């Protein structure tokens, strides 16, 4: 690929890393916030879920705008929201302010992913698309892992408020990079034909080493309609429902684990630093899981590999819930859970662009992510309620692992001759 393509994809990976840090910043700071403000488990669960509730709104209401306004504009707008939201969160003085600011920050986190996912899928060449999407997806656990390592030192030396200030700085520094180097989607220019589309299209073709054209291709007529309703038409309803349900179920368990793992380890007698270390190892395992999925899916099929990862994640979470292992055993299990959990998530990230056609790709991806974020708000809050109700660790871990098994059933239900061959970056399926 040309340097222009590599830089565009690298920017998306960087944004994914920032998104991972911003989402999990509250998990790293949660034990310190709970101790300082004397929060109950149920209140802490609400703190974890607040940002995810904002992500639901961002995914459903902001992501579709990328199909009508452009991927680049939405990415820039979401970065502004992240910068303002993280900076304001550092100044929160009570629970109510923190909840409101996490919802606001979540708007940016929820709206940004569909845009960068689409840019990577469209600017990577056929040979490197699998690898490019894998790197974009594992940017999330890389950002969370680095954020966890940094947060442990920041909290010990500067307090939990400073963690959010560093997150705001990272988003702010990324804004000029995106303005300078992130291109607009070629498919968007062809499908929507905004003012100046031909000139912009030719500039991008020149950077890609392609000849300029005198007119936009006639086959790429302006898409008549976009929006959420369209993803249930043209025979896509069954696939849309199954993909959305898979996202919802996975995210119930996913965000329970990534948010509550530090607190659970602390409640088991470990230090705050050891609790954060567990979250770091979970994200480290996620990096390995993402790369493993990227390598195996072209050989075995994306649906088969994703289904297997969900089933194995279910087993490892149940094991963690019932184990009495020492610190080393617990840390090893967090690594294993992270591998299968993030592998499952990246598999679902790859499914959405393959299911939805260009005209509604951001809308469809945004809907799936929005439904997933709805599940994400359920997981942490439900965990807080179960813990407050004195459920045993094996009981609440088992209950919150069950959605992983149900998600595996939904993914496997997508299995049909056309879909079974899907790999990351395969062409969108049009029924």
CATH 2.102.10.10 fits 3-420, yes or no: no
What is the Cα–Cα distance from 289 to 294, expressed in whole angstroms? 9
- 243 vs 150, 246, 399, CA distance in Å? 35, 5, 22
Taking the domains of the chain in order of start, what are their residue ranges? 3-420
Cα separation, 264 vs 266, whole angstroms: 5
When pLDDT is averaged across residues 237-253 and rounded to a whole number, the result is: 87
Residue 219 has pLDDT above 60, yes or no: no
Given a cut of 50, whether residue 342 has pLDDT beyond it is yes
Helices (H) and strands (E) in the chain, counts: 16, 0
Tens-place pLDDT, residues 322-340: 888 888 888 999 999 999 9
pLDDT band at 431 (very low <50, low <70, confident <90, very high): very low
> Who contacts 278 (Cβ-Cβ below 8 Å, separation ≥6)?
261, 262, 265, 270, 330, 331, 334
- What pLDDT digit, counting tens, does each position of 176-197 carry? 999 998 888 877 888 778 888 8
pLDDT at 76: 94
Query: Structure tokens of 154?
Result: 């920041």
Q: Count CB-CB contacts under 10 A for residue 306.
A: 30
Q: How far apart are CA 230 and CA 150, in angstroms?
A: 43
The Cα 301–Cα 130 span in angstroms is 12
Task: Compute CA distances 196 → 70, 193, 212, 223, whole Å.
Answer: 13, 8, 14, 17
* Of the listed ranges 76-85, 107-116, 306-315, the one predicted with least confidence: 107-116
For the segment 15-33, the average pLDDT, to the nearest whole number, is: 88
Percent with pLDDT over 90 in the chain: 29
Short-list 250, 210, 254, 278, CA closest to 380:
254
Tokens representing residue 99 in the block? 């909840």
- Among residues 65, 63, 107, the alpha carbon closest in space to that of 85 is found at 107
* pLDDT greater than 90 at residue 406: yes
Least confident of 125-134, 160-169, 286-295: 125-134
């Amino acid at each position: 690929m040309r340097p222009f393509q590599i830089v565009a994809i690298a920017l998306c990976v960087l944004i994914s890393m920032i998104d991972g840090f911003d989402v999990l910043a509250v998990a790293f700071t949660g034990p310190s916030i709970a101790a300082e403000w004397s929060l109950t488990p149920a209140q802490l669960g609400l703190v974890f879920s607040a940002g995810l509730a904002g992500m639901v709104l961002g995914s459903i209401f902001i992501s579709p705008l990328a199909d009508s306004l452009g991927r680049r504009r939405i990415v820039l707008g979401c970065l502004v929201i992240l910068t303002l939201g993280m900076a304001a969160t550092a100044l929160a003085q009570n629970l109510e302010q923190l909840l409101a600011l996490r919802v606001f920050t979540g708007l940016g986190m929820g709206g940004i992913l569909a845009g960068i996912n689409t840019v990577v899928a469209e600017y990577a060449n056929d040979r490197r698309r699998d690898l490019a999407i894998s790197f974009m997806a594992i940017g999330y656990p890389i950002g969370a892992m680095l954020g966890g390592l940094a947060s442990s030192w920041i909290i010990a030396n500067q307090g939990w408020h400073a963690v959010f200030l560093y997150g705001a700085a990272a988003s702010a520094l990324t804004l000029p990079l995106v303005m300078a180097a992130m291109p607009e989607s070629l498919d968007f220019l062809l499908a929507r034909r905004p003012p100046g589309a031909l000139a912009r299209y030719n500039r991008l073709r020149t950077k890609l080493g392609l000849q300029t054209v005198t007119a936009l291709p006639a086959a790429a007529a302006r898409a008549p309609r976009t929006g959420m309703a369209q993803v249930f038409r043209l025979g896509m309803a069954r696939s849309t429902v199954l993909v959305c349900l898979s996202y919802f179920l996975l995210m119930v368990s996913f965000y329970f684990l990534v948010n509550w793992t530090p607190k659970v380890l602390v409640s088991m007698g470990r230090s705050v630093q050891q609790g954060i270390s567990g979250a770091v190892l979970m994200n480290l395992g996620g990096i390995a899981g993402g790369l493993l999925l990227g390598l195996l899916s072209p050989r075995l099929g994306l649906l088969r590999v994703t289904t297997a990862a969900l089933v194995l994640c279910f087993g490892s979470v149940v094991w963690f819930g019932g184990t009495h292992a020492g610190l080393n055993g617990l840390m090893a299990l967090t690594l294993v859970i992270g591998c299968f959990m993030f592998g499952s998530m990246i598999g679902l990230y790859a499914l959405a662009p393959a299911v939805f056609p260009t005209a509604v790709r951001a809308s469809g991806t945004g809907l799936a992510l929005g439904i997933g974020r709805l599940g994400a708000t359920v997981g942490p809050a439900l965990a807080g309620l179960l813990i407050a109700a004195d459920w045993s660790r094996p009981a609440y871990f088992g209950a919150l692992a069950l959605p992983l098994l149900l998600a595996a059933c939904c993914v496997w239900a997508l299995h049909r001759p056309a879909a079974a061959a899907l790999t990351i970056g395969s062409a969108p399926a049009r029924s």
